[in-house]
C-alpha cells in the first residue's frame, strides 16, 4: 500500500532559525497537504498543493509539490515559540477518493 516517509521525526531549534521538513512517497499523489497539530487538538490545515512543481506560501510557511509527484517539503522561516507542535504531511490520490495518507509527523520544539 501507499506509504509516506516524513523526516525528520523531531527537531529542536532556536527561536529565529529556519526549519525544513519533507515527505516522500512510494507512489504518486495528486494533492499534498500540510497540517499542524497541537496536543489534544485536531490537525489544522496549513497549506494545500495541487500541481507538480507548485510552490505556495502562507506567511512564514512555504511548501512545494515535487516534480515527480512523490515528494513535498515544508519550510518555516524565522521560527517563533508558537510554531511548536507536530507537523504532518498528507497525500491524496484521486483514484482513492478523498482518502488522505499521512506521514508519521515531525515534532518541532522551539527554544526561546
Partner 1 sequence: ETGVTQSPTHLIKTRGQQVTLRCSSQSGHNTVSWYQQALGQGPQFIFQYYREEENGRGNFPPRFSGLQFPNYSSELNVNALELDDSALYLCASSAPGQGSNTEAFFGQGTRLTVV
- Give the footprint of partner 1 on this chain (CB under 8 A): 1, 4, 6, 30-31, 33, 35, 40-45, 48, 50, 88, 90, 92, 94, 96-105
The DSSP code for 15 is T
Distances (CA, A) of 21 to 6, 77, 98, 99: 7, 12, 24, 23
Query: Among residues 17 and 96, whose Cβ is nearest to partner 1?
Result: 96
CA distance 59 to 41: 22
Q: Are 110 and 15 in contact (CB under 8 A)?
A: yes
Complex with partner 1: residue 45 or 67, whichever CB lies closer: 45
CB 61 → partner 1: shortest distance, Å? 15
Closest CA to 94 of 35, 24, 25, 29: 29
Q: How far is the CB of 112 from partner 1 (least distance, A)?
A: 25
Nearer to partner 1, 17 or 99 (CB): 99
Least gap, CB of 50 to partner 1 (angstroms) = 6
Amino acid at each position: 500500500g501507499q506509504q509516506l516517509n516524513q523526516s525528520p521525526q523531531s527537531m529542536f531549534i532556536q527561536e529565529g532559525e529556519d526549519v525544513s521538513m519533507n515527505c516522500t512517497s512510494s507512489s504518486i499523489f495528486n494533492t499534498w497537504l500540510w497540517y499542524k497539530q497541537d496536543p489534544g487538538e485536531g490537525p489544522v490545515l496549513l497549506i494545500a498543493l495541487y500541481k507538480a512543481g507548485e510552490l505556495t506560501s502562507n506567511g512564514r510557511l512555504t511548501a512545494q509539490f515535487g516534480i515527480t509527484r512523490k515528494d513535498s517539503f515544508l519550510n518555516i522561516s524565522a521560527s517563533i515559540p508558537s510554531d511548536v507542535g507536530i507537523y504532518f504531511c498528507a497525500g491524496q490520490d484521486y483514484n482513492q477518493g478523498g482518502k488522505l495518507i499521512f506521514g508519521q509527523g515531525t515534532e518541532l520544539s522551539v527554544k526561546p
